[in-house]
Amino acid sequence: MWILLATIIVLACTAYLAIFYFWKLGKIRKLVKCPGPPSIPFIGSAHYFMGSTEDILNEFRKWMNMYPSPFHAWLGTRLFYVVYEPQQLKTILASSKAIEKEDLYKFARPWMGTGLFTAPASKWRLHRKLIMPTFNPRILEGFVEIFAKQANVLVKELRVELDAGEFDIFQYVSLCTLDIICETAMGVPSSVQVQRKSLYVDAAKRLFEIMFSRMLKIWMHPDIVFNLTRDGRNWREGIRFVHDLTDQGNDTTALVNTYVLFMLALFPDVQEKVYQEQFEIYGDSDPGDVPVRHEDLNRMDYLERVIKETLRIFPIAPIVVRKITDDLNIGEHTLVKGSSVVLAFLKTHWSEEYWPDPMRFDPDRFLPEECLKRHPYTFLPFSGGQRNCIGRKYAMMAMKVLLATIVRKYVLIKDQVILLEDIRLKIDLMLKPVEPINLRIEKRHA
């Protein structure tokens, strides 16, 4: 008798939830006026995201080439809009109705904590207000000496690779940026470059892959399921390891630097122009004797254009996801309250509409007169609006110092030419190469 009653109650509850789900779904669907990929009840389009992070990126790129901005997709029972048109991006990024981070970012909090990247709007405002003084020009100027010191450690560590064939340069650059972050943020030299604690790099790489994979695989969202999987066990072990070493993140700057070095190796004419700019400033002096100075950074115009063009082709944050807390009009379309929006910067950066021949590496796209011809929101390497990257000036200064130091010391070479469109990429919050970025170095002779 009791079993029968319990069965009836369970069936009744299930029927109620199903009816409520389809009623709510039908109501929302009537409000969605833009196209999107096919979806399955309860699953949505999540079945498209069952592959590797490379497969996920390729599927997403296929959608962006197929549908106009905005289009929609369902992840389980949750509605996501995808936007990449510059004026629409500007409207969203400027709106207080789209300032909240999407709930998917909660999966990053065990590793990254509730900081500027993952925090809800209420905490983000407080954290940003507290951190802003750290990035004032006077303090940033004082950091340049640390940037230069650690960059010179890097060029010394790279000596073992001279004339030794191609190698994965990210391993070296990542440890250098970790040293920089530790010393500028905590005031304590960590010396990981010298100690070669590359296990940190491997652990951080795996954590990003697990985190992004979990975001898109809705069956992995419940902790009780995730914790029973191999990824769940690897996640807990990786978290313990990176917290033991440092709580600061360094992968973004390291990855940009690595991409720039890769571009310099692929395009020797660009590398030569970067070197000539350095030669005009420092002559043939050794960076160990005459390190990069703060007052020289503004003279490195061409290097800055090279960095920007690299960030256009390889935007470190190819997508950003926000919650829509109230109906938001973006021209002819309305993003409905309770949905989320994917800001697809990657598509904007690769659009032929804004960037003729987008897979051609051309730093002169960022000459002042060329920039004036484009909508300012066609280039968003540090996002935009209220929640843009607070450390963008810090990052640009650090990158200039590190790259200038390396180019003054070494010639970067890639033996096998590769087309930019043939570089295999994947996404795990950041845009990363599937295969290591290998190149070789030779000592530079002026």
What tokens appear for 229 in the block? 């999987």
Specify if 268 maps to a domain: yes
Task: Identify whether 8 is part of a domain.
Answer: no
What confidence category does residue 32 fall into, taking pLDDT thresholds of 50, 70 and 90? low
Annotated ligand binding at 389? The verdict is yes
pTM of the model: 0.81
44-65 per-position pLDDT tens digit: 888 887 888 899 899 999 999 9
75 or 347: whose pLDDT is higher?
347
250 vs 181: CA distance, rounded Å: 7
> In this structure, is residue 23 part of a structural domain?
no
| Domain hosting residue 368, numbered range | 32-443
Q: For residue 12, tell me if it sits in a domain.
A: no
- For residue 383, the model assigns a pLDDT of 85
Instruction: Determine the pLDDT at residue 336.
Output: 93
Flag whether 3 is in a domain: no
Q: Residue 6 — pLDDT band, cuts 50, 70, 90?
A: low
pLDDT in tens, 201-248: 566 667 777 877 777 777 778 777 787 788 877 776 666 555 544 444
Look at residue 193 and tell me whether its pLDDT is greater than 90: no
Residue 11 domain flag? no
pLDDT band at residue 363 under the 50/70/90 scheme: very high
Q: What mean pLDDT is predicted for residues 308-316? A: 96
> With 90 as the cut, is the pLDDT of residue 423 above it?
yes
Place of tokens 């599937």: 434
Rounded distance, CA 3 to CA 282, Å?
85
Helix %, strand %, coil % of the chain (to 5): 60, 10, 30
CATH code where residue 271 lies: 1.10.630.10
SS3 239: helix
Mean of the pLDDT values across residues 259-280? Answer: 97
Distance CA 264, CA 272 (A): 9
Greater confidence (226 vs 35) lies with 35
Residue 23 has pLDDT above 50, yes or no: no
Residue 380 belongs to some domain of the structure = yes
Query: Which pLDDT score, from 0 to 100, does residue 108 have?
Result: 53
Letter string b/e over residues 22-39, b meaning 16 or more CB atoms within 10 A of that residue's CB: eeebeebeeebebebbeb
- Helix/strand/coil for 90: helix
Q: What are phi and psi of 149, to 5 degrees?
A: -60, -50
Label residue 66 by pLDDT band (50, 70, 90). Answer: very high
pLDDT at 110: 52
Q: Are 14 and 7 in contact (CB under 8 A)?
A: no
Does 13 have pLDDT greater than 60? no
**Does residue 120 lie within any of the structural domains?**
yes
Instruction: Provide the number of structural domains found in the chain.
Output: 1
